[in-house]
């Protein structure tokens, strides 16, 4: 059985840095007026509410994209396929991201059993949220490198 402290730490670990900031800010503001436990619960509810709204707006703008929890936290994912960062990482690996995007899209679609439309969805999402996707790619590279070093 997890302690309350462990539950809180696990919940914070699942949040992005911005979401964790919302929790801390909301908790700090509300604990003056409420019991600490209630204030903390309300802080998490607020962070998740904001996250869900932001993700909903992104999904509306990018049909075919959903958000799922993964090893590196929440990630934009094709509704019927892999995480966006995996597709973009493969595209970048072809070194054709800017020069011959259509050829790269076709190559990636064939490689991963994805349709042309799925890859285009991932590329469109990447064009709007490239920093977020690049961060996921970098995080994966670091994890892969650590795994190689440990073996």
Q: Greater confidence, 26 or 105?
A: 26
Q: How far apart are CA 97 and CA 18, in angstroms?
A: 29
Q: Which of 37, 61, 85 is the last residue of a domain?
A: 61
pLDDT average, residue stretch 34-48: 73
- Overall number of domains in the chain: 2
Of the listed ranges 4-18, 32-46, 48-62, 108-122, the one predicted with least confidence? 4-18
What single-letter DSSP state applies at residue 79? T
Residues 79 and 148 in one domain: yes
User: What does the pLDDT read at residue 84?
Assistant: 94
Residues 92 and 126 in one domain: yes
90 and 112 Cβ atoms separated by less than 8 Å: yes
Range of the domain at 10: 1-61
Residues 137 and 126 in one domain: yes
- pTM score, whole prediction: 0.68
- The 10 Å Cβ neighbour count of residue 13 is 9
Nearest CA among 129, 54, 113, 126 for reference residue 81:
113
Residues 81 and 104 in one domain: yes
Q: Greater confidence, 129 or 99?
A: 129
Residues 71 and 116 in one domain: yes
Helix extents (H) in 32-129: 36-61, 84-93, 101-112, 116-128
* Tens-place pLDDT, residues 85-112: 998 888 876 665 554 555 555 565 555 6
């Amino acid at each position: 059985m997890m302690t309350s402290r462990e539950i809180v730490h696990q919940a914070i670990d699942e949040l992005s840095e911005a979401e964790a900031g919302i929790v801390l800010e909301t908790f700090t503001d509300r604990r003056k007026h409420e019991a600490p436990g209630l204030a903390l619960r309300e802080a998490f509810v607020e962070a998740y509410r904001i996250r869900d709204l932001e993700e909903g707006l992104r999904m509306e703008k990018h049909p075919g994209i959903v958000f799922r929890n993964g090893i590196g936290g929440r990630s934009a994912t094709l509704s019927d396929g892999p995480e966006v960062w995996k597709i973009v990482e493969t595209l970048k690996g072809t070194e054709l991201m800017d020069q011959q995007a259509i050829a790269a899209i076709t190559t990636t679609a064939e490689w991963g059993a994805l349709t042309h439309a799925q890859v285009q969805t991932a590329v469109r999402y990447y064009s709007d949220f490239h920093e977020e996707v690049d961060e996921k790619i970098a995080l994966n590279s670091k994890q892969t490198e650590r795994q190689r070093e440990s073996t």
